[in-house]
Amino acid sequence: MKGVGKFGEVLAGEKGKVSYDALAERLDKIIHSGSQKKAITDFVCRELRKIPHYSWVGIYEVQGGDLVLTSWSGPSATQHVRIPVGQGICGAAVTAKDTIVVPDVNADPRYLACFLNTASEIVVPVLKGGEAVAEIDIDSDQRNAFAAGDRRFLASVAEELATLL
Ligand code: SME
């Protein structure tokens, strides 16, 4: 992939061309816009899903011992709107306070199935004062879809979201 700007990738796919840097700039603007929190997280999910290999995007917030789905964008709704922190890839990322990439969800016993088409997943925690307060959960229909560039890009989005959540 071509090296351009901070996050270094421009992808082309069925959703058209997407510049990670232009996207990061749009997300920064909206996150710091002062708009209502839910409107912002909805927007962030919609914008992230413009990246061709991001099939479903959700933001979960930590509430007590559960992860609660606050915003999502994708072809269909998930039944996992509340996930105990001890369960799933989602729970594992919060417990680890670190990004988890699962290249093949069918090979990971932690995986909580949502969509038939999901082949890989990335979960990026939003850390605040050393604690996970939320997370970005992304499913891809492609196996092994998430690379180092996605990790870096999404870690930076999570860092911005920490100022809001
Ligand atoms: N697959 C996740 C559950 C959430 S859905 O992907 C929307 C997990 O294993 O935690």
pLDDT in tens, 1-59: 344 566 755 555 556 678 899 999 999 999 999 999 999 999 999 999 999 999 999 99
Tokens of residue 58, six digits: 């959700």
Question: Tens digits of per-residue pLDDT, 78-115?
Answer: 999 999 998 999 999 999 999 999 999 999 999 999 99
C-alpha 113 to ligand 1 mean position (Å): 6
The set of residues, in sequence order, having a beta carbon less than 8 Å from that of 25 and lying 6+ positions away, is: none
C-alpha 89 to ligand 1 mean position (Å): 6
Atom of ligand 1 nearest to the CA of 91: 10
Of the candidates 57, 67, 25, the one whose C-alpha atom is nearest the C-alpha of residue 165 is 67
Of the candidates 42, 73, 70, the one whose C-alpha atom is nearest the C-alpha of residue 135 is 70
Q: Which residues line ligand 1 (CB under 6 A)?
A: 58, 78, 80, 83, 88-90, 111-112, 114, 121, 137, 139
Please give the model's pTM, rounded to 2 decimal places. 0.91
* pLDDT for the residue 131: 95
Q: Cα(161)–Cα(57) distance, rounded to whole angstroms?
A: 15
Pocket test for ligand 1, best of 48, 76, 79, 83 (most atoms within 8 A of CB): 83
C-alpha 151 to ligand 1 mean position (Å): 17
Q: How many CA atoms, within 13 angstroms, populate the side-chain half-sphere of residue 126?
A: 21
Q: Cα(71)–Cα(138) distance, rounded to whole angstroms?
A: 12
